[in-house]
Structure 1
């Protein structure tokens, strides 16, 4: 990969003087990892998954019958994911250019062969959903002109069933392939979408479901039984993520009262008689079975930590991903007899374990802010502290393994994660509290947690570091300008830096997201965008800042980052930059290693700490 590094960024050949410590941190990144496999609905022995075993995240196939596994894709900047046709004959993957997320779906034979366009007639665009039936393909894409959703039945021509200038996406096909559920934001709020069910035959509307302003709906999946038109829907009618069953044909609607205190998500069991429920609360996940007839909720035994990608196979086995802050990720299977074991073991050595995360609830202006934190082993008293800020903003930091967190801890830094207002998993009021005032709202929560970290004796007030990627990178740059007294140094990956220019250049689905978040476009509410833009506060920045950015990023485009860096340069502010030839982050392990080494070396030098560590 062509990596161009600004001359002011000195990426060391080794972060640690001790060879064992150096090997340990690098091994956490280079160790092979795998995603939870996706299998063919009608040929469940045929599966696909993603892995970094080659040094780049690519698509792999797994024939469970023979046990054979092999690499499918091999592209310089990697491949983000794949699925497999219902009959198991074809592997589908999205073909973009150098990580720009703009492209088309291609497919290739499961047994091996060349890739070809999967859906003739589909335009290049940003993906807006895909669902594969036995004879029907439902596919969506978006461009600067809006969203297009289309279907293809058998060998017929691709036919548009929905198009709109506002954001929309494919939701789910019914099992008999007569109905298509879509999400849309015709009402102008893509953060809180509505649902429409269309007939596949002619695209006519069967029914609509809309809960009104500020309450979104998400079509999860139709019941996986032929002739069953029930649709599982995620809703937020009572201030948190919950579930209901809606039959758009009969008009019946049943809210599911699942007795769990946090947010819930779910999918059907293969017989459609029960749901597998993921319950998220305070950064940790538990799994449950909910019987749709008896309404009985049964706990499924998983260790404390974070669970992802759980799905039920035809034999009732549950395959899922699991990790905790201490233990690296594994793909596991919970069998009907209660046996819980590793399903797939990647080749090579396992990553070294790390340190557990503890919890803090800090009083803030909008309520208690949940923080997860870890201290370097063997330390006492205040230490340099990294505030690692998650992206999204509709995401959350959880009790999960992170090679990045682990190396910062090894480098002598405490690490604090802040699930600020705007984060998911703490109710919809918390998530939506940033609407109309993004950026500065989250910084209020970061401020109270930073103050707590100092007052509690964890953080050295002279060595508080702000770091994050995507929305976390944006908050890093904004924090350096709005709260310069709190932060000694910052590192921002793929950030929004100049919000007005970012809006002009970013992908259209993100423009729609921004309009929903800010309450309008920059033309309609210009003051809100200026208030939220890091460029507005560039004069106040005093801390050295490192920026890492992809040349082909459609989410946080490079021009607006260059604008911000030029403003720093004009004012003689200390900064450095790493540019790389990919998009919103990199799928290449060696590139991620370089980014991490650049951040740690830059921060330690800014704090007058030795590089390499221990040298």
Structure 2
């Protein structure tokens, strides 16, 4: 088996969630069967069992506080539209968790100690609704709004519910409302001042004690994400004043004595403990790289998922114990990343670079992250490693709109959507060529989701720059995408572009790949899920039809899933198709072994 396939096939586990009142009962995600599914783990006995088994996989699930039940979300073939199911922790038949609620997009879930459930739902017709479901009772709607919102948490005693909402119309900056189970309001917190300021809030969790109304909240008051404690009973806020650069998140230690702090800065992350009594912050030792998830256990230890670009993920504990080590062949390592800072039109742009063995210049892949509010980090990723194995350098750019570089950097993505990011990518591209890293005649632009969108937009607005483009689940026709996508993403697009396509048609046209499709020179490869609610298939077909009309070289792969695939063999097939397309069109030897030789639909 070639290394690039082995990285995808290697058994993986996610960070286990544990039941608040039964910490030996855990739930985790694994690809052990070849599809990512949910698994129950009884730590006291060591027994593990597969909870879900569906053709397109399952990753969205949680435990009730007593650990008696597992709730999991059932959609149809990856369309993200469905209902919550539940299953006894020890095994048994699945059943609808809330029989009275019709299918919808999920908008948060909180489960109480007395059996109460708080369920958030989103539909195109209703907007967002929140329902309280008492034990054995019928769901009661306590919240409804056209703009996007979601259930964020339920207090330890079940007396308070916090809802993140964007009623002010700014989908990038949420406000908070705390309500009682009957829907009456207890407290409000809105740093955006009704949408007039671009400041957002995010819920990190209620204090872990009955009768404690304190809520841990992330805020942006000093130009970055950092935690504070909000006493929802008095309205007072306590800023922790953590002297750490970059973005800072946190969660409560189970006894409420302190906070587990996750600090992200310049594409890497680390852990700290902050004691609330004396305000002291101490380092929780982790290796250099990226902590993709962490949780504090009742004994005070911390379990965390760690990796670096060179080393595959490991699930570790501060006790020194191995938390979960799935059997089977381990993923081969890859090349470390180098940090590059390039002056761009909006400030210094951070890029992560990986080089293959040997002298350059190399054929180079610009692998653009999705989101857009996300960032690439010094973390293990199988797809960039596959390009390296085949002789490509890989460049990943944390363009304006990315997280981890402060609020101003993230919020710069407004109105000139797509074009701003491509300016930053162009600056890094110039550096890559001038530095001798990249062969100017063999530059590949690729990405998935928002990265796929930027790929198609870049091929049309920078046609001389790229030798070929590979776009996975992209936005291709922004106007049609807006009308077909899930309601929460419509709200985001209205925020990014300043209105609907009917209100600001010139902005949608300027930011739509379809506008520039006739300028595309490079061969184009597109893959799309036919059930995708985020980048729907109709708008992709519109773009493909325009390529076909001018007989432009392109290939299309359509698969029966949603916004990506949770099936390992399907993912390997997709990467294989992309590799073969690139090797063929760049005139490079096709040394690829394994999947990827069939299944594409050539247009």
List aligned pairs for 1:126-275, cutoff 5 A: 126-135=105-114, 136-145=116-125, 146-200=127-181, 202-212=182-192, 213-275=197-259
Conserved? CA contact 2:2–2:593, under 8 Å: no
Which structure carries more relative contact order (alpha carbon 8 Å, separation 6+)?
Answer: 1
1:552 and 1:582 in contact (8 A); partners too: yes
Structure 1 counterpart SS, 2:228:
strand
Aligned equivalents of 2:100, 2:406: Cα separation in 1: 41
Separation of aligned partners in 1, 2:437 and 2:71? 48
The aligned runs of 1:88-99 (5 Å cut-off) are: 88-99=67-78
Which residue does the alignment assign to 2:341?
Answer: 361
Cα distance, 1:122 vs structure 2: 2.0
Match of 1:476 in 2: 455
CA contact (8 A) 2:190 2:201 kept: yes
**2:44 aligns to what?**
65
The alignment partner of 1:430 has SS state of helix
2:526 matched residue in structure 1: 547
TM-score by length of 1: 0.94
Match of 2:429 among 450, 466, 473: 450
Aligned match of 2:492: 513
1:294-373 to structure 2, matched below 5 A, reads 294-335=278-319, 340-373=320-353
Q: For residues 11-90 of structure 1, what are the structure 2 equivalents within 5 Å?
A: 22-90=1-69
* Partner SS state of residue 343, structure 1: coil
Cα root mean square deviation, aligned: 1.1
Contact 1:553–1:582 (CA under 8 A) maintained in structure 2: yes
Structure 2: any 5+ residue segments left out of the alignment?
595-603
State the alpha-carbon separation in 2 of the partners of residues 130 and 579 from structure 1.
32
2:541 aligns with 562
Structure 1: tracts of 5 or more residues without a match: 1-21
> Deviations 1:293-343 (Å, cap 9, x if unpaired)?
2111101100011102211111111111110001101111113xxxx3421
Q: How far apart, CA to CA, are the structure 1 residues paired with 2:258 and 2:440?
A: 52
TM-score (norm 2): 0.96
Correspondence list, 1:277-288, <5 A: 277-288=261-272
What is residue 601 of structure 2 aligned with on the other side? none
How many Å separate the matches in 2 of 1:164 and 1:174?
23
> 1:3 — aligned with what?
none
SS in 1 for 2:459: helix
Tell me which moved more, 471-480 or 67-76: 67-76
Aligned length: 588
Cα deviation, residue 32, structure 1:
0.6
1:268-300 Cα distance to aligned partner (Å, 9 max, x none): 011212110000001000000011121111011
- For residues 190-235 of structure 1, the C-alpha deviation after alignment (integer angstroms, 9 at most, x for no partner) is 11010000011x2101111001221111122110011110001111
Tell me how far apart the structure 2 counterparts of residues 130 and 306 of structure 1 sit (CA, whole Å). Answer: 28
- 1:614 shift after superposition: 9.8
Are 2:259 and 2:273, in contact at CA under 8 Å, matched by a contact in 1?
Answer: yes
**Residue by residue, what CA displacement relative to the aligned partner does 1:41-73 show, whole Å, maximum 9, x if unpaired?**
111111110000100001111111110111111
- Separation in 2 of the partners of 1:23 and 1:416? 23
Q: Which runs of 4+ in 1 moved over 6 A?
A: none
Contact 1:49 1:81 in 2 (8 A): no
**8 A Cα contact 1:484 1:540, kept in partner:** yes
Contact in 2 for aligned 1:123/1:141 (Cα 8 Å): no
Deviations, residues 114-141 of structure 1 (Å, cap 9, x unaligned): 1001122222111100111112211101
SS across alignment from 2:283:
strand
Structure 1 position 381, deviation (Å): 2.1
CA contact (8 A) 1:84 1:92 kept: yes
Distance change (3 Å), C-alpha of 1:82 and 1:614: closer
CA displacement at 1:515 relative to structure 2: 0.7
- 2-structure distance, mates of 1:291, 1:437: 43
Distance 1:563 1:80 in 2: 31
Q: Distance in 1 between matches of 2:422 and 2:575?
A: 24
